[in-house]
Amino acid sequence: MLSYKGYTGQLEIDEEAGILFGRVLDIRDVVTFQGDTVAEAKQAFQDSVDDYLEFCQETGQEADRPFSGKLPFRTTPEHHRQLFLAATKTGKSINAWMDDVLIKAANKVINSL
């Protein structure tokens, strides 16, 4: 995975064509890139993101962002109560407490890959 300015790119190999190619993930617009080497593909990814953002600015359209920072979450009333109690005991809001807990869990998973 590649990361640049909050955008994530997935890199793949086309063995027959002898190139690396990819696309920007988690946005509705289609943004692609390719290169002959890893370094070229990384640079092409960054250039494609920059070109996309510049195009959006020039045309007056809002660039699609991969994540809004809002995460709808549904749970049972009992779990909600438990989350509230855990957050309160740490002196945090439920959102702040969940953010801390979830990012620790996510980092653990990401680092184990």
pTM: 0.65
- The distance in angstroms from the start CA to the end CA of the chain is 12
| CA atoms within a 13 Å half-sphere pointing along the CA-CB vector of 44 | 18
Which residue is it, tokens 């998973």? 109
Interstrand relation of 7-14 and 2-4 (parallel, antiparallel or unpaired): antiparallel
Residue 46's SS3 state is helix
What is the domain partition of the chain in residue ranges?
2-59, 77-112
Q: What is the pLDDT along the chain (113 residues), one digit of tens a residue?
A: 899 999 999 999 999 999 999 999 989 899 999 999 999 999 999 999 999 999 999 999 999 988 778 888 999 999 999 999 999 999 999 999 999 999 999 999 989 98
**C-alpha span between 26 and 66 (Å, rounded):** 5
